[in-house]
Homo-oligomer: A and B are copies of this chain.
Amino acid sequence: MQGTVSVLTQIKEDAVATPVDRLVAATAPDMARVNELILSRAQSHVDMVPELARYLIDSGGKRLRPMLTVASAMLFGKGTGNAINFAAAVEFMHNATLLHDDVVDESDMRRGKPAARMIWGNKASILVGDFLLGQAFMMMVETGDIVSLGVLSSASAVMAEGEVLQLAKTGDVSTSPADYSEVIRAKTAVLFEAACQVGAISGGADTAGRQALSQYGLELGIAFQLVDDVLDYGGQAGTLGKNTGDDLREGKMTLPVILALAEGTAEERETITTALGDPDATADQVSAVVAIMNRYRALSRTLDQARVHARAAQRALEALPASDMQTLLADVVEYSVSRAY
Protein backbone atom coordinates (compact mmCIF):
# COMPACT_ATOMS: atom_id res chain seq x y z
CA MET A 1 0.00 0.00 0.00
CA GLN A 2 2.79 2.40 0.83
CA GLY A 3 4.20 2.04 -2.66
CA THR A 4 0.76 2.76 -4.04
CA VAL A 5 0.27 5.89 -1.97
CA SER A 6 3.60 7.31 -2.99
CA VAL A 7 2.81 6.60 -6.63
CA LEU A 8 -0.52 8.37 -6.16
CA THR A 9 1.12 11.37 -4.53
CA GLN A 10 3.71 11.59 -7.24
CA ILE A 11 1.17 11.33 -10.03
CA LYS A 12 -1.08 13.91 -8.42
CA GLU A 13 1.71 16.41 -8.77
CA ASP A 14 1.61 15.92 -12.48
CA ALA A 15 -1.20 18.29 -13.41
CA VAL A 16 -1.53 16.72 -16.86
CA ALA A 17 -2.38 13.22 -15.61
CA THR A 18 -6.10 12.46 -15.89
CA PRO A 19 -7.84 10.59 -13.09
CA VAL A 20 -7.85 7.47 -15.26
CA ASP A 21 -4.07 7.84 -15.78
CA ARG A 22 -3.73 8.08 -12.00
CA LEU A 23 -5.95 5.02 -11.54
CA VAL A 24 -3.76 3.14 -14.00
CA ALA A 25 -0.66 4.12 -12.02
CA ALA A 26 -2.20 3.32 -8.64
CA THR A 27 -3.31 -0.15 -9.72
CA ALA A 28 -0.29 -0.93 -11.91
CA PRO A 29 1.43 -3.56 -9.72
CA ASP A 30 -1.77 -5.57 -9.24
CA MET A 31 -2.93 -5.04 -12.81
CA ALA A 32 0.38 -6.51 -14.01
CA ARG A 33 -0.64 -9.71 -12.23
CA VAL A 34 -4.16 -9.47 -13.65
CA ASN A 35 -2.78 -9.11 -17.17
CA GLU A 36 -0.49 -12.09 -16.66
CA LEU A 37 -3.46 -14.17 -15.53
CA ILE A 38 -5.55 -12.97 -18.47
CA LEU A 39 -2.88 -14.06 -20.94
CA SER A 40 -2.34 -17.44 -19.32
CA ARG A 41 -6.08 -18.20 -19.20
CA ALA A 42 -6.59 -17.24 -22.83
CA GLN A 43 -4.30 -20.19 -23.69
CA SER A 44 -5.66 -23.31 -25.32
CA HIS A 45 -4.26 -26.19 -27.35
CA VAL A 46 -6.92 -25.26 -29.93
CA ASP A 47 -4.94 -22.62 -31.84
CA MET A 48 -7.85 -20.46 -32.91
CA VAL A 49 -8.84 -19.80 -29.30
CA PRO A 50 -5.72 -17.94 -28.11
CA GLU A 51 -5.27 -16.26 -31.52
CA LEU A 52 -8.72 -14.73 -31.44
CA ALA A 53 -8.74 -14.10 -27.69
CA ARG A 54 -5.34 -12.42 -27.73
CA TYR A 55 -6.27 -10.25 -30.69
CA LEU A 56 -9.18 -8.91 -28.68
CA ILE A 57 -7.31 -8.74 -25.38
CA ASP A 58 -4.25 -7.04 -26.88
CA SER A 59 -6.38 -4.39 -28.53
CA GLY A 60 -7.02 -3.84 -24.89
CA GLY A 61 -8.93 -0.69 -24.26
CA LYS A 62 -8.47 0.82 -20.82
CA ARG A 63 -9.34 -2.31 -18.82
CA LEU A 64 -11.51 -0.04 -16.71
CA ARG A 65 -13.65 -2.84 -15.24
CA PRO A 66 -10.83 -5.00 -13.84
CA MET A 67 -9.07 -1.82 -12.64
CA LEU A 68 -12.22 -1.00 -10.68
CA THR A 69 -12.14 -4.46 -9.08
CA VAL A 70 -8.51 -4.02 -8.04
CA ALA A 71 -9.06 -0.41 -6.89
CA SER A 72 -12.15 -1.41 -4.87
CA ALA A 73 -10.11 -4.10 -3.13
CA MET A 74 -7.29 -1.61 -2.45
CA LEU A 75 -9.78 0.78 -0.91
CA PHE A 76 -10.44 -1.75 1.88
CA GLY A 77 -7.22 -3.68 1.96
CA LYS A 78 -5.01 -4.97 -0.77
CA GLY A 79 -5.59 -5.49 -4.46
CA THR A 80 -3.95 -8.91 -4.27
CA GLY A 81 -5.56 -12.20 -3.27
CA ASN A 82 -8.96 -12.99 -4.75
CA ALA A 83 -9.16 -9.56 -6.40
CA ILE A 84 -6.67 -10.67 -9.07
CA ASN A 85 -8.82 -13.61 -10.12
CA PHE A 86 -12.04 -11.62 -10.01
CA ALA A 87 -10.53 -8.77 -12.01
CA ALA A 88 -9.39 -11.16 -14.74
CA ALA A 89 -12.79 -12.89 -14.67
CA VAL A 90 -14.59 -9.54 -15.05
CA GLU A 91 -12.43 -8.69 -18.07
CA PHE A 92 -13.15 -12.11 -19.63
CA MET A 93 -16.88 -11.64 -19.08
CA HIS A 94 -16.64 -8.21 -20.70
CA ASN A 95 -14.67 -9.54 -23.67
CA ALA A 96 -17.10 -12.45 -24.13
CA THR A 97 -19.89 -9.88 -24.30
CA LEU A 98 -17.98 -7.79 -26.85
CA LEU A 99 -17.45 -10.83 -29.09
CA HIS A 100 -21.14 -11.73 -28.99
CA ASP A 101 -22.27 -8.10 -29.32
CA ASP A 102 -20.20 -7.55 -32.43
CA VAL A 103 -21.90 -10.55 -34.02
CA VAL A 104 -25.33 -9.35 -32.91
CA ASP A 105 -24.69 -5.76 -34.06
CA GLU A 106 -22.89 -6.90 -37.22
CA SER A 107 -20.10 -4.49 -36.25
CA ASP A 108 -17.10 -4.24 -38.56
CA MET A 109 -14.80 -2.39 -36.18
CA ARG A 110 -13.90 -2.59 -32.49
CA ARG A 111 -11.46 -0.23 -30.78
CA GLY A 112 -10.24 1.10 -34.11
CA LYS A 113 -9.35 -2.34 -35.50
CA PRO A 114 -11.39 -4.81 -37.54
CA ALA A 115 -13.72 -6.70 -35.21
CA ALA A 116 -12.61 -10.30 -34.49
CA ARG A 117 -15.59 -11.59 -36.45
CA MET A 118 -14.24 -9.86 -39.60
CA ILE A 119 -11.06 -11.97 -39.32
CA TRP A 120 -12.13 -15.28 -37.75
CA GLY A 121 -15.85 -15.14 -38.57
CA ASN A 122 -19.05 -15.01 -36.57
CA LYS A 123 -18.93 -18.67 -35.64
CA ALA A 124 -15.52 -18.50 -33.97
CA SER A 125 -16.51 -15.26 -32.23
CA ILE A 126 -19.56 -16.93 -30.68
CA LEU A 127 -17.61 -19.99 -29.54
CA VAL A 128 -14.53 -18.16 -28.24
CA GLY A 129 -16.92 -15.89 -26.32
CA ASP A 130 -18.36 -19.03 -24.71
CA PHE A 131 -14.85 -20.24 -23.93
CA LEU A 132 -13.93 -16.95 -22.22
CA LEU A 133 -17.11 -17.13 -20.14
CA GLY A 134 -16.24 -20.67 -19.05
CA GLN A 135 -12.70 -19.61 -18.16
CA ALA A 136 -14.09 -16.63 -16.23
CA PHE A 137 -16.15 -18.97 -14.06
CA MET A 138 -13.17 -21.25 -13.52
CA MET A 139 -11.12 -18.33 -12.21
CA MET A 140 -13.97 -17.34 -9.89
CA VAL A 141 -14.36 -20.90 -8.60
CA GLU A 142 -10.65 -21.01 -7.72
CA THR A 143 -11.18 -18.25 -5.15
CA GLY A 144 -13.69 -20.39 -3.25
CA ASP A 145 -15.66 -17.19 -2.61
CA ILE A 146 -19.22 -18.32 -3.22
CA VAL A 147 -20.74 -14.91 -2.40
CA SER A 148 -18.77 -13.18 -5.14
CA LEU A 149 -19.53 -16.06 -7.49
CA GLY A 150 -23.21 -15.36 -6.89
CA VAL A 151 -22.73 -11.66 -7.64
CA LEU A 152 -20.96 -12.34 -10.94
CA SER A 153 -23.15 -15.21 -12.15
CA SER A 154 -26.20 -13.08 -11.53
CA ALA A 155 -24.54 -10.22 -13.45
CA SER A 156 -23.87 -12.61 -16.31
CA ALA A 157 -27.56 -13.56 -16.64
CA VAL A 158 -28.77 -9.97 -16.24
CA MET A 159 -26.34 -8.69 -18.88
CA ALA A 160 -27.69 -11.18 -21.39
CA GLU A 161 -31.26 -10.16 -20.50
CA GLY A 162 -30.30 -6.53 -21.11
CA GLU A 163 -28.89 -7.39 -24.51
CA VAL A 164 -32.07 -9.27 -25.42
CA LEU A 165 -34.20 -6.32 -24.28
CA GLN A 166 -32.07 -3.97 -26.39
CA LEU A 167 -32.49 -6.31 -29.36
CA ALA A 168 -36.25 -6.50 -28.82
CA LYS A 169 -36.45 -2.68 -28.74
CA THR A 170 -34.31 -2.21 -31.86
CA GLY A 171 -35.99 0.32 -34.12
CA ASP A 172 -39.04 0.43 -31.84
CA VAL A 173 -40.01 4.13 -31.73
CA SER A 174 -42.34 3.51 -28.78
CA THR A 175 -39.32 2.74 -26.55
CA SER A 176 -39.62 4.86 -23.39
CA PRO A 177 -36.88 6.48 -21.30
CA ALA A 178 -37.73 3.85 -18.64
CA ASP A 179 -37.10 1.02 -21.13
CA TYR A 180 -33.78 2.63 -21.99
CA SER A 181 -32.82 2.92 -18.32
CA GLU A 182 -33.54 -0.76 -17.87
CA VAL A 183 -31.40 -1.67 -20.90
CA ILE A 184 -28.33 0.28 -19.82
CA ARG A 185 -28.61 -0.79 -16.20
CA ALA A 186 -28.69 -4.44 -17.27
CA LYS A 187 -26.30 -4.48 -20.21
CA THR A 188 -23.62 -2.15 -18.78
CA ALA A 189 -24.07 -0.94 -15.22
CA VAL A 190 -24.60 -4.33 -13.56
CA LEU A 191 -21.08 -5.46 -14.56
CA PHE A 192 -19.56 -2.22 -13.20
CA GLU A 193 -21.55 -2.84 -10.02
CA ALA A 194 -20.39 -6.44 -9.76
CA ALA A 195 -16.77 -5.51 -10.56
CA CYS A 196 -16.68 -3.02 -7.68
CA GLN A 197 -18.65 -5.21 -5.29
CA VAL A 198 -16.48 -8.31 -5.66
CA GLY A 199 -13.41 -6.08 -5.38
CA ALA A 200 -14.72 -4.69 -2.10
CA ILE A 201 -15.47 -8.21 -0.84
CA SER A 202 -11.95 -9.36 -1.80
CA GLY A 203 -10.51 -6.36 0.05
CA GLY A 204 -12.38 -7.32 3.22
CA ALA A 205 -15.11 -4.66 3.19
CA ASP A 206 -17.92 -4.88 5.73
CA THR A 207 -21.56 -4.86 4.58
CA ALA A 208 -21.76 -1.07 4.46
CA GLY A 209 -18.52 -0.85 2.46
CA ARG A 210 -19.69 -3.53 0.08
CA GLN A 211 -23.01 -1.75 -0.47
CA ALA A 212 -21.25 1.58 -0.99
CA LEU A 213 -18.99 0.16 -3.71
CA SER A 214 -21.88 -1.71 -5.28
CA GLN A 215 -23.83 1.55 -5.51
CA TYR A 216 -20.76 3.41 -6.76
CA GLY A 217 -20.23 0.88 -9.57
CA LEU A 218 -23.87 0.86 -10.60
CA GLU A 219 -24.16 4.65 -10.83
CA LEU A 220 -20.78 4.98 -12.54
CA GLY A 221 -21.84 2.34 -15.07
CA ILE A 222 -25.08 4.15 -15.86
CA ALA A 223 -23.23 7.47 -16.28
CA PHE A 224 -20.62 5.73 -18.43
CA GLN A 225 -23.23 4.29 -20.82
CA LEU A 226 -25.17 7.59 -21.05
CA VAL A 227 -21.93 9.32 -22.02
CA ASP A 228 -21.14 6.58 -24.55
CA ASP A 229 -24.53 7.03 -26.13
CA VAL A 230 -23.94 10.79 -26.43
CA LEU A 231 -20.47 10.19 -27.90
CA ASP A 232 -22.05 8.02 -30.57
CA TYR A 233 -23.68 11.21 -31.88
CA GLY A 234 -20.42 13.16 -31.67
CA GLY A 235 -20.60 14.29 -28.03
CA GLN A 236 -22.40 17.32 -26.68
CA ALA A 237 -21.04 19.44 -29.50
CA GLY A 238 -22.36 16.91 -32.03
CA THR A 239 -18.98 16.83 -33.77
CA LEU A 240 -19.21 14.27 -36.55
CA GLY A 241 -16.48 11.61 -36.62
CA LYS A 242 -16.06 8.41 -38.60
CA ASN A 243 -18.21 6.28 -36.29
CA THR A 244 -20.83 8.93 -35.59
CA GLY A 245 -24.32 7.57 -35.98
CA ASP A 246 -23.50 3.85 -35.63
CA ASP A 247 -26.24 3.48 -33.01
CA LEU A 248 -28.68 5.27 -35.34
CA ARG A 249 -27.83 2.98 -38.25
CA GLU A 250 -28.18 -0.09 -36.00
CA GLY A 251 -31.61 1.12 -34.84
CA LYS A 252 -30.48 1.37 -31.19
CA MET A 253 -33.03 3.26 -29.11
CA THR A 254 -30.71 5.34 -26.96
CA LEU A 255 -31.84 8.30 -24.89
CA PRO A 256 -30.84 11.03 -27.39
CA VAL A 257 -33.01 9.49 -30.10
CA ILE A 258 -35.85 8.77 -27.66
CA LEU A 259 -35.88 12.41 -26.50
CA ALA A 260 -35.69 13.78 -30.04
CA LEU A 261 -38.55 11.54 -31.19
CA ALA A 262 -40.66 12.56 -28.21
CA GLU A 263 -40.39 16.28 -28.94
CA GLY A 264 -39.77 16.55 -32.65
CA THR A 265 -42.41 17.62 -35.20
CA ALA A 266 -43.95 15.03 -37.49
CA GLU A 267 -41.45 16.02 -40.16
CA GLU A 268 -38.50 15.73 -37.77
CA ARG A 269 -39.71 12.35 -36.56
CA GLU A 270 -39.86 11.27 -40.19
CA THR A 271 -36.24 12.37 -40.73
CA ILE A 272 -35.18 10.33 -37.69
CA THR A 273 -37.20 7.18 -38.41
CA THR A 274 -36.02 7.09 -42.02
CA ALA A 275 -32.38 6.90 -40.91
CA LEU A 276 -33.07 4.73 -37.83
CA GLY A 277 -32.03 1.14 -38.47
CA ASP A 278 -30.86 1.86 -42.01
CA PRO A 279 -27.28 0.55 -42.21
CA ASP A 280 -26.73 2.73 -45.29
CA ALA A 281 -27.90 6.02 -43.77
CA THR A 282 -25.55 8.74 -45.09
CA ALA A 283 -23.46 11.21 -43.10
CA ASP A 284 -25.90 13.91 -44.23
CA GLN A 285 -28.79 11.97 -42.75
CA VAL A 286 -26.88 11.55 -39.48
CA SER A 287 -26.12 15.29 -39.52
CA ALA A 288 -29.79 16.10 -39.96
CA VAL A 289 -30.68 13.86 -37.01
CA VAL A 290 -27.98 15.45 -34.83
CA ALA A 291 -29.33 18.90 -35.80
CA ILE A 292 -32.78 17.84 -34.57
CA MET A 293 -31.21 16.49 -31.36
CA ASN A 294 -29.47 19.81 -30.80
CA ARG A 295 -32.72 21.69 -31.43
CA TYR A 296 -34.29 19.85 -28.47
CA ARG A 297 -31.08 19.68 -26.43
CA ALA A 298 -31.36 15.88 -26.53
CA LEU A 299 -27.59 15.35 -26.22
CA SER A 300 -27.03 17.84 -23.42
CA ARG A 301 -30.10 16.61 -21.53
CA THR A 302 -28.71 13.05 -21.79
CA LEU A 303 -25.47 14.38 -20.34
CA ASP A 304 -27.42 16.08 -17.56
CA GLN A 305 -28.69 12.65 -16.61
CA ALA A 306 -25.16 11.26 -16.74
CA ARG A 307 -24.11 13.98 -14.30
CA VAL A 308 -26.94 13.07 -11.91
CA HIS A 309 -25.73 9.46 -11.83
CA ALA A 310 -22.10 10.54 -11.57
CA ARG A 311 -22.95 12.59 -8.50
CA ALA A 312 -24.82 9.60 -7.02
CA ALA A 313 -21.69 7.50 -7.54
CA GLN A 314 -19.58 10.07 -5.71
CA ARG A 315 -22.12 10.32 -2.88
CA ALA A 316 -21.95 6.55 -2.40
CA LEU A 317 -18.25 6.94 -1.62
CA GLU A 318 -18.77 9.70 0.93
CA ALA A 319 -19.91 7.26 3.61
CA LEU A 320 -16.44 5.72 3.57
CA PRO A 321 -13.33 6.88 5.46
CA ALA A 322 -11.28 9.44 3.52
CA SER A 323 -8.29 8.06 1.63
CA ASP A 324 -6.29 8.78 -1.50
CA MET A 325 -8.05 5.92 -3.28
CA GLN A 326 -11.47 7.22 -2.26
CA THR A 327 -10.62 10.62 -3.76
CA LEU A 328 -9.25 9.00 -6.88
CA LEU A 329 -12.38 6.88 -7.43
CA ALA A 330 -14.49 10.03 -7.08
CA ASP A 331 -12.26 11.83 -9.60
CA VAL A 332 -12.60 8.94 -12.05
CA VAL A 333 -16.36 9.51 -12.11
CA GLU A 334 -15.90 13.19 -12.92
CA TYR A 335 -13.54 12.30 -15.70
CA SER A 336 -15.74 9.62 -17.22
CA VAL A 337 -18.46 12.23 -17.75
CA SER A 338 -16.05 14.85 -19.05
CA ARG A 339 -15.22 12.55 -21.99
CA ALA A 340 -18.28 13.87 -23.77
CA TYR A 341 -17.27 17.53 -23.96
Contact = CB atoms under 8 A, between A and B. Distances in A.
A163 B128 CA distance: 9
B168 A131 contact: no
A3 interface: no
Interface string A157-196: 1111101110110000000000000000000000000000
A48 B130 contact: no
Interface string A289-329: 00000000000000000000000000000000000000000
Copy number in this complex? 2
Contact of A135 (B150, B157, B163): B157
Contacts of A155: 134
Contacts of A126: 100, 103-104, 126
Give chain A's interface secondary structure class.
helix
Interface in A92-138: 96-97, 100, 103-104, 122-124, 126-128, 130-131, 133-135, 137-138
Interface residues of A, number: 45
B128 A164 contact: yes
A144 interface: yes
Contacts of A47: 168
A225 interface: no
A327 to B, nearest CB: 35
A137 B153 contact: yes
Nearest to A157: B134
6 contacts: A97-B130, A104-B123, A127-B164, A135-B157, A137-B157, A141-B146
